[in-house]
Chain A
């Protein structure tokens, strides 16, 4: 049942307890209780809105930065990853298989700000041997939601 609640919230974090209880058959009290528990246990880590910033004037530039790293003895990649994760403009940090070791997604105000961040903050970290920065030019689908698709699905308003 918790899984069902999680799936519902993952799709729509603003779904009311009332709606969740209608769908799951739990009481509202029980729903509230379960969600609070999962928040306390760190299963639910937070709630965010999915924003199509391209539709907002005051928009952002995002980039994917691939890093090659010489792991430190005993700590491996952890220490460097934890360090990078602390920057507020870093959205994601992943350990990767394949050509790069760490993959970092950053969101900045401008193109310039991204390059400054890579040059002045990332490239200088001890253990990082190379960086490759790729700017995201357009977002078609993010977090499972298609951003570019038309709202009208062609079904019309009424049919039998």
Chain B
């Protein structure tokens, strides 16, 4: 009989399946769950975007596009990136359309990593950076960001993490799950440390448009001295409610982008064509729709943050993305215990902070991609759960 252990790559086998797989399986098969658990918008893709996709199908625009993506789309991305973040990228040579931000992260890491290279990853953060680093032969070096720093990477933390072997720094801001952001000054401080090094910055700015309190997102690549070392990653999933279309992009200086494109060309060929046509419309005409969605997220954010604080679960104001990240330390439970018990006793699903790295211990992630009514219900049930904990 074939021994699968022997045929599978040890690197792959060594990657831990997310420790909370079991919890996820239970949560996803349970009925009538009041969930605050998902990482994608509840809004539909704006109609004009869907319509553009349908139109492209009617026109039978269903062939491969060029490897880098439709020229018209790359041009829109260039205009958009300039308009929103003040950075110019040449659509011919510095922009690659990818299968979600996910592919861009993968390709960027693969393009730069040599065996043993260290990749600095701030956590708690989105789950893919660490396994992809390992698959690329790299060694993850974790920065444990802290609540009292609003989950930013501080200059001291960065300095400590850097070694001779450092190849790249991942900047996952605005941050899933913490809602933390890095402003201009924060980024400038990091830029100062990075100047005169060869450290690449992979800046995952997929939540760039979802910032609150009149804060405009600052792109890492817009900081003086940073453009040359930065792979800027963005996408359509979160901003335009387009998770299922699987579309994102990477912008980087030509020498970097060329190599990233080489891998993309062999592994992917091109991003989905229908989605590319739809995405042109998203970049061109959706400012108003996005503004309305952000306004709606903002109301939910205020409701959920106040709600958690009133329940005694200290919750900092998230400034970006669509997650609240309250502390559950006052309950004396671990994050996983808290989430499991909450699920079993009240059928409310939230994600343990530890899903996003060890430093997420003591926190839970509650998504507010839900209606106000739904959030109210969930908060009420969490309140009941906390009461029952106290009385036991």
Contact = CB atoms under 8 A, between A and B. Distances in A.
B27 A158 contact: yes
Contacts of A136: none
A70 to B, nearest CB: 42
A100 to B, nearest CB: 30
A153 B370 CA distance: 11
Given A155-B40, A156-B38, A157-B38, A23 B28 contact: no
Given A23-B303, A155-B40, A160 B372 contact: no
Interface in A1-41: 8, 11-12, 15, 19, 22-25
A160 to B, nearest CB: 5
Contact of A159 (B37, B299, B302, B356): B37
Contacts of B351: 158, 160
Contacts of A24: 302
B183 interface: no
B302 A22 contact: yes
B80 interface: no
B307 interface: yes
A46 B35 CA distance: 32
B136 interface: no
Between A11, A22, A156, A157, the greatest number of chain B beta carbons within 10 A of the residue's beta carbon is seen for A157
Contacts of A158: 24, 27-28, 35, 37-38, 349, 351
B66 to A, nearest CB: 32
Contacts, number: 54
Contacts of A25: 302
Interface extent on B, as a size class? 20 to 34
B24 A22 contact: no
Contact of A157 (B126, B349, B373): B349
B33 interface: yes
B372 A23 contact: yes
A15 B27 contact: no
A23 B302 contact: yes
Interface string B360-375: 0000000000001100
Contact of B42 (A11, A22, A155, A159): A155
Interface string B249-268: 00000000000000000000
B202 interface: no
Interface string B372-386: 110010000000000
Between A15, A156, A160, the greatest number of chain B beta carbons within 10 A of the residue's beta carbon is seen for A160
21 contacts: A8-B299, A12-B373, A19-B376, A22-B303, A23-B299, A23-B302, A153-B42, A156-B28, A156-B38, A157-B28, A157-B33, A157-B38, A158-B24, A158-B27, A158-B35, A158-B37, A158-B38, A159-B38, A159-B40, A160-B126, A160-B127
Closest 8 CB pairs of A and B: A158-B37, A22-B306, A157-B35, A158-B27, A157-B33, A23-B299, A157-B349, A157-B27
